[in-house]
Amino acid sequence: MTPVLPDDHSQLISDLSGIVSDYPYVDPEEALAALAGDAADALGRVGSPEGRRERTGYTILLYATCWYVASRVFNKSLFDSYMEALDGFRATLDPDECTCPADSHPSGLDSEYGVSAGVSLLTGAGRAVFAGDYDLEDEELAAFDCEGFLADLADQAEDHVRDAYRSNFGRVDVSYLDAQFVRDDGGIDIVAMQEALRRSWENNTGPVALWSARRWLSGQVRDEERLGLFLCMWMGIAQSYAGLPPSYTRELAAALDTVDLDASCDHPKHPWSTADRFVQSRYRAVVHLYAPEDHPDTPVPAELSARELWECPVQYAELARKAQEDLQGWGVMCGGED
């Protein structure tokens, strides 16, 4: 009989291929959590031929999908599940058992090919289908089961997930920005912060926003610097279009929570409303505010330039609400309550 891939495995290939190609049509977090759970269950069967086939398939699948987990999902429990499953498989693998000729290990296992290979190699029927689809000889198919090959995949995947875990949930060091933003007299150089925000190609928006939030929360800010510091934080958030991980958002949210959202005033309009549509307009408004002689051009009209309007608590509240909406949007976009 012609071997056929089980229907549920065909669906799994389809679901995971959509995820790794970044066009998921199932809930990625739910699907990847189920994958990690199935992999953990297979650990108890590694001593059997079926279990060794599953070890190969799940190791490849965890490797092929770890890049998506690291860059698209912000859920600690999923990271933990991946690391536990990879740890478990790695403990059963001995690279010294590898007797393969040089350069004979499979290559190109990332993305959709890795998903197809991993799911197919879980079962005997799937292996037959996979070998026929890719015209593999017996020794080429057997190379997927090599313990040295699988150990290398597990090590790479676990290192990647652990690095992403630290980046997403650990404490980010932005102390190097002190040298750029703190003047010799201890004050803050708002213009230098704006110049850093302009250099978006250096991925400065997140670090500038986080540095601003920490400075704000520490209280190490003079009265005349508070507005500029807050605007730099706001701009760093607004211009981080792809969102920032929890390692950033925890402190950004804490800084925004210090703003009184119930403030009221009689002003019909505030200065930032004339400058917040374009990045260049924002930059011109802030640098003019803090260095008008060096930066005379500003989008803010004279009738809205009074410092009283700039410092109005209602403007702070309006800005804080918008920034909080951005943070909430990142949470929805990335998934995961964390």
Residue 186: the pLDDT is 95
pLDDT digits (tens, 9 = 90+) for 19-38: 999 999 999 999 999 999 99
Tell me, what's the pLDDT at 74?
85
Task: Compute the average pLDDT of residues 288-298.
Answer: 95
- Report in angstroms the alpha-carbon separations of 253 from 140, 209, 216, 314, 325: 53, 11, 12, 18, 10
86-124 pLDDT, tens digit per residue, is: 999 999 999 999 999 989 999 888 889 999 999 999 999
Q: What does the pLDDT average to over 230-259?
A: 94
pLDDT grade, residue 232 (50/70/90)? very high
